[in-house]
Amino acid sequence: MADELSKRDQRWQIRIRDLHKSFAAQQVLRGIDLDIERGKINIIIGGSGQGKSVFMKHLMGLLSPDRGHIFVDGQDIIGLGDVAIAKVQRKFGMVFQYAALFDSLNVVENIAFPLLERYRLPKKEVLERVRDLLERLDLARVPGIEQKYPAELSGGMRKRVGLARALVDRPEILLYDEPTTGLDPIATRNVDEMIRRTADDFGVTSVVISHDMASTFRIADRIAMLYEGVIIASGERREVMAAPHPVLKEFVETSGAVHFGGRAS
């Protein structure tokens, strides 16, 4: 199986097989099998404590599994050395739950931070990249945005600055950690539109960890549910809604956002 999955597949950018992880006596991941589609919005849902964050850390090479495989563009990243894994990690950008901006840095400095940490680029090139992202993410229209600090920004604006920072090193894959947590319904819809537009405009593969069912069924191209350390359902949105797993159906319908046989509110 490993030899077959090591062949680069244009449809699937990430392929996970039999992924296991325990911490002492606690078994968190119990054999995850999942394919992440290239250029699409792939949303992973599940309740608290089901292993979503641990799973995401494995994708970025921040944790090593007890066993299993993670193929990124056909390359198994499990067991790679520091130099090789660092090269793979540059394919990823991370959008944190609360943006995780540096309070002491202004918007330009926050966005430029990954470039300044990793490379010795001319300041002019760094500033050009930052300003290009400010334009493309509709932040340039905010007066004085470049010199503003995180405390001066709304929640939605902080999300966009966090996204700009994730995009500045031109990743192929964007990971979003609970991107709509703590936002009101209007801000939530704006973030949904931001994720959709980013996938379309930048051509990135999006992997979103979420418990927001309205957002999930509004923007997902593919949905997977993580439950008790395994993926119990996955597929395109219409496939998941057509034949939901009982646990998935209960989880989603309890949110009130979606009723199977109906549509997202």
* pLDDT (0 to 100) of residue 6: 59
| pLDDT above 90: percentage of residues in the chain | 66
Contact yes or no for 29/17 (Cβ under 8 A): no
For the cut 60, the answer to whether the pLDDT of residue 233 exceeds it is yes
In a domain, 36, yes or no: no
Pairwise pLDDT comparison (2 vs 173), residue with the higher score: 173
Mean pLDDT on 148-160:
90
* pLDDT (0 to 100) of residue 211: 86
SS (H, E, C) 6-60: CCCCCCEEEEEEEEEEEECCEEEEEEEEEEEECCCEEEEECCCCCCHHHHHHHHC
pLDDT in tens, 54-95: 999 999 889 999 999 999 999 999 999 999 999 999 999 999
Structural tokens at position 127? 């500033």
Pairwise pLDDT comparison (140 vs 155), residue with the higher score: 140
Tell which phi-psi region holds residue 159, choosing left (phi > 0), alpha (psi between -120 and 50) or beta.
alpha
pLDDT in tens, 100-141: 899 999 999 999 999 998 888 999 999 999 999 999 998 999
Per the prediction, the chain carries an average pLDDT of 90
* pLDDT (0 to 100) of residue 2: 57
In a domain, 117, yes or no: yes
Cα separations (Å) of 49 from 30, 73, 143, 180, 219? 13, 29, 42, 18, 24
Q: Where is average pLDDT lowest: 129-138, 189-198, 249-258?
A: 249-258
| pLDDT above 70: percentage of residues in the chain | 94
Maximum alpha-carbon separation in the chain: 55
List, in order, residues 6 or more apart from 23 with CB less than 8 Å away: none
Distance of CA 82 to the CA centre of its chain: 23
pTM of the model: 0.90
Structural tokens at position 27? 């078994």
Pairwise pLDDT comparison (117 vs 8), residue with the higher score: 117
Position 103, amino acid: D
Q: In what order do the strands lie in the sheet with 173-177?
A: 92-95, 173-177, 205-210, 41-45, 222-227, 230-236
For the cut 90, the answer to whether the pLDDT of residue 197 exceeds it is yes
Question: By residue range, what is the domain housing residue 109?
Answer: 101-170
Closest CA to 214 of 42, 39, 36, 45: 45
Q: What span, in angstroms and rounded, lies between the C-alpha atoms of 179 and 170?
A: 20
In a domain, 176, yes or no: no
Backbone angles phi, psi at 59, to 5 degrees: -60, -35
Confidence of residue 172 (pLDDT cuts 50, 70, 90): very high
Q: What span, in angstroms and rounded, lies between the C-alpha atoms of 41 and 204?
A: 9
CB atoms within 10 A of CB 200: 11
* pLDDT (0 to 100) of residue 90: 92
In a domain, 258, yes or no: no
For the cut 60, the answer to whether the pLDDT of residue 142 exceeds it is yes
In a domain, 23, yes or no: no
In a domain, 111, yes or no: yes
pLDDT in tens, 175-190: 999 888 877 888 888 8
* pLDDT (0 to 100) of residue 49: 82
* pLDDT (0 to 100) of residue 194: 92
* pLDDT (0 to 100) of residue 183: 79
Count how many domains the chain has: 1
In a domain, 135, yes or no: yes
* pLDDT (0 to 100) of residue 265: 47
In a domain, 110, yes or no: yes
